[in-house]
Amino acid sequence: MLDILIVEDNKEIGTLLCDFLRRENYTVSVVDNGEKALELYEKYLTIVLNETERLTKLTNSLLTLNNLNMKGMVLEKTDFDMNEVIRNTAATFEGICQQKQIMISLILTGETMFVNADMSKIQQVLYNLMDNALKFSHNDSTITIETRSKNGKLFVSVKDEGIGIPKDSLKFIFDRFYKTDLSRGKDKKGTGLGLAIVKDIIQAHGENIDVVSTEGVGTEFIFTLSKPNPM
């Protein structure tokens, strides 16, 4: 299983590196030829920078996955306020939300809502899900984060009004490097690893994550967390 993962990772990195070098060489040739030098240089420099950013994200995601696998997902569980984590994480996306005119709606249970989990890893889960929602949301739409408490569990929902996921793709959505045909056009910098990391973290906590989606309507991810045991 590990050998297969390494082969897949190397293929993905190799593809990105070849694409990066091809475009970088073309950028240099454009400048050397002197034909529309400034205009074309800026165009292809942007492409190279975008590919560099994507390669960096891929490397960081692979390191995260490898660390999770190698260490057997060591969890540092504490009791913390999930509402505060949601508010703080949402605040980090204010800039991109303003650019795309996307509103984040928080529907939270109570002023505080404590859970027992590894806070830094749950922050990563929430960040990845919100980042995913923003990538595929239409301008002038809303992303809703909602919590509800039931039977000792907190259910956290991240819902967008974006392009949605084709029905046939739902069963693959948490696979490493998987991208739907719809997402390939919208997410040119994505690595296809964000949701795989989310699933690994949630499962390591012994919790569940589900996805509901309709093409052209939007997508909702729902995961569970355990509330602290009563004293």
Asked whether the beta carbons of 103 and 143 are under 8 A apart, the reply is yes
Tens of pLDDT, residues 60-72: 656 665 655 545 6
At 143, the pLDDT band (50, 70, 90 cuts) reads: very high
End-to-end CA distance of the chain: 42
- If phi > 0 it is left, if psi is from -120 to 50 it is alpha, else beta; for residue 191 that is alpha
Instruction: Return the pLDDT at 175.
Output: 86
Helix then strand then coil, in percent of the chain rounded to 5, is 55, 20, 25
Instruction: Return the pLDDT at 171.
Output: 87
Tens of pLDDT, residues 8-37: 444 444 454 455 444 444 444 444 555 556
Interior CA angle at 110 toward 109 and 113, to 5°?
80
Domains of the chain by residue range = 2-70, 77-226
CATH number of 77-226: 3.30.565.10
